[in-house]
Amino acid sequence: MAHASDGRSLEFKLPDLGEGLTEAEIVRWLVEVGDVVAVDQPVVEVETAKAMVEVPCPYGGVVTARFGEEGTELPVGAPLITVAVGDAAADVPARGPGTSAATGTAESPADEAPAAERKAEGSGNVLVGYGTSEAPARRRRVRADRQAATGASGRANGRVRGAEPVDGPVPVISPLVRRLARQHDLDLRELTGSGPDGLILRADVEYALRAAAAQGGRTAVQEAGTDRARDAASPALPASSPGSADARPDGTRVPLKGVRGAVADKLSRSRREIPDATCWVDADATELMRARTAMNASGGPRISLVALLARICTAALARFPELNATVDTEAREIVRLDRVHLGFAAQTDRGLVVPVVRDAHARDAESLTAEFARLTEAARAGRLTPGELTGGTFTLNNYGVFGVDGSTPIINHPEAAMLGVGRIVPKPWVHEGELAVRQVVQLSLTFDHRVCDGGTAGGFLRYVADCVEQPAVLLRTL
């Protein structure tokens, strides 16, 4: 992560951001060459396949070089910045707290916090291998010239500015908005956001794209789309013969990168390394639904169904700890884990992510409900941190939200098992010796056959089904 390039300066490299991610894209630089930085001060904002992250530098000194422009994709381990430290810092002209590195013009004192204040604050980012202990509230810096340009031209409704684009980072409400603009070749600096303090919203970008399409001013938002326009502008390639080795099938090619690439790599590894098996059972969930209705009728925060299923999972793992494990292939050992960090599959606009509820075994239904809601909202907004996407020991997959009954999911490597829950639908069911219409759900357990045999897996799934059918069974473990 660091390298003493010449004995006088330290090279800070892009750290491992977790979850098997191997690259990140520079969204915006937070420092300029010549800036004085404190230990653990964020220096760059990067976007991975899963989240937007501010990367803190573990060294204090003067920034002597930056590597990569905004929009550049860097692999883990590539240099980010070099910092002159100690006596070497005295030889480097440092920017004053009120001086712009690019122009040398003075900035308002409100634009930059005092150095002592910045030194006392931590970045709050916890990355693999290092981090800080405190997360201060984020401050959006708005330059005076930017404010003047906004007031002089443009309207706060997402329309294109009338003045020249302003340099510097552009505040957007989420990474999804930035990605949408980038996919359509739209320069965010040309927009005026309709959100607070000029924040650019998704509606602003969509309005600008519609306006550009109507005017025919942007090839990227034409009805034909970016790929079709590029294909039309490219010279025709000679047709390959049917038997040619380089013949390719017709169709649209989508790069395996970002979220899709990360998911592909992880699931492929799971399939290669884990000898998985699946068992399933139908269960009568009528009593569980009634219990939830009774809980929510008693006042207080509403309890979600997924929270009750999570509580059942943690109780089952306490009885069958073999499934809360991982396999150390190099040591040829099964590692049984003491704590349950419960992952749950969440589908977002960016793709599939698996946020992790820490210490799920120590939480009650109310706490689980609140944490599921918080992580789900962060996932949809693209604000999940690497720490919230890693370290899971067992996954709960509620694919019933897609309107399907069953599935044989792929295990979330390096975990050992995943519980799948289908939709709950009324079906004919024999209840107390009579045919009745009951709320029925299909449960499936996919497990790593290296950590246990079918008897253990079947016992786990049967216990989960018993708790679904008779929630009072849980009282034994409360």
DSSP letter for each residue of 125-148: -EETTEE-S--PPP-----HHHHH
Active-site amino acid positions: 449, 453
CA 250, 256, 260, 264 dihedral sign is positive
Q: Please state, in angstroms and as integers, the Cα–Cα distance from residue 337 to each residue in 321, 325, 354, 394, 401, following that order.
A: 8, 5, 19, 10, 30
Tokens, residue 345: 């599959």
**Residue 242 and residue 244: Cα distance in Å, rounded?**
6
Nearest to 122 by CA among 12, 40, 15: 40
| DSSP collapsed to 3 states, 358-423 | CCHHHCCHHHHHHHHHHHHHHHHHCCCCHHHCCCCCEEEECHHHHCCCCCCCCCCCCCCEEEEECC
Q: For tokens 């079709």, what's the residue?
A: 228
Name the token pair of 85: 């430290």
Q: CB–CB of 22/74 below 8 Å? A: no
At residue 306, the 3 state secondary structure works out as helix
Dihedrals φ, ψ of 108, to 5°? Answer: -65, 140
Find all residues with CB under 8 Å of 76, minimum gap 6, and list them: 14, 15, 16, 17, 21, 22, 23, 24
Question: Interhelix angle for 286-297 vs 305-319, to 10°?
Answer: 120
